[in-house]
Amino acid sequence: MTAPDGSEGRILIRDTWGTDIVNDLKPEAGDVVLYKTRFSGFYETELDSVLKTAGIKHLIVTGCTTSMCVESTIRDAFFRDYHCILLTDCTSEPISWDASRSNHDASITLVQILFGWTSTSDHFLKAIEERVQGGS
């Protein structure tokens, strides 16, 4: 892959530009930060242990690339009995400028049919607000 400065690089190499956390999402004190070395957030990371320790069973999933990291993480979550909701407008398929975008749609369809549920961020936030206002 080509880095922003034009040099050749590799993906998923810790402490390189491709693994930097964007400023708008910088962790705050007390946030858990995990480093992954493969497409799935579960593969050889502490994610499963952190979630189980916290008693978490439902995951809201966002990110990129939809057909690689997002789908791999959702599949691994499903295999570990987590319930996932993919926010379809909070994921993308920037794998290549000239590649078909059908991979994104195919991954969303797979999640809908096999691995969890999908929603848009607006619908999801509205449902949360309604639940909070309803006191449930």
What per-residue confidence (pLDDT) applies to 1?
A: 67
- CA-to-CA distance for 136 and 122, rounded, in angstroms? 20
Please check whether residue 74 is in contact with residue 84, taking contact to mean a CB–CB distance below 8 angstroms: yes
- In what helix (H) or strand (E) does residue 121 lie, and over which residues does it extend? helix 121-134
CA-based nearest residue to 115, from 106, 123, 103: 106
- CA-to-CA distance for 120 and 125, rounded, in angstroms? 9
What per-residue confidence (pLDDT) applies to 132?
A: 92
Q: Is 54 helix (H, G, I), strand (E, B) or coil?
A: coil
Q: Is 92 helix (H, G, I), strand (E, B) or coil?
A: strand
Across 9-13, 44-48, 108-112, 127-131, least confident range: 9-13
pTM recorded for the entire structure: 0.83
pLDDT in tens, 68-97: 999 999 999 999 999 999 999 999 887 666
What per-residue confidence (pLDDT) applies to 99?
A: 66
What per-residue confidence (pLDDT) applies to 96?
A: 67
Q: Which residue is associated with the tokens 């398929």?
A: 93
Average pLDDT (43-48) is 96
pLDDT in tens, 53-65: 999 999 999 998 8
Rg for the chain, CA atoms, rounded? 16
Q: What are phi and psi of 33, to 5 degrees?
A: -120, 125
Strand partners, 8: 2
What per-residue confidence (pLDDT) applies to 134?
A: 83
Average pLDDT (22-42) is 91
- In what helix (H) or strand (E) does residue 75 lie, and over which residues does it extend? helix 71-79
Average pLDDT (32-43) is 92
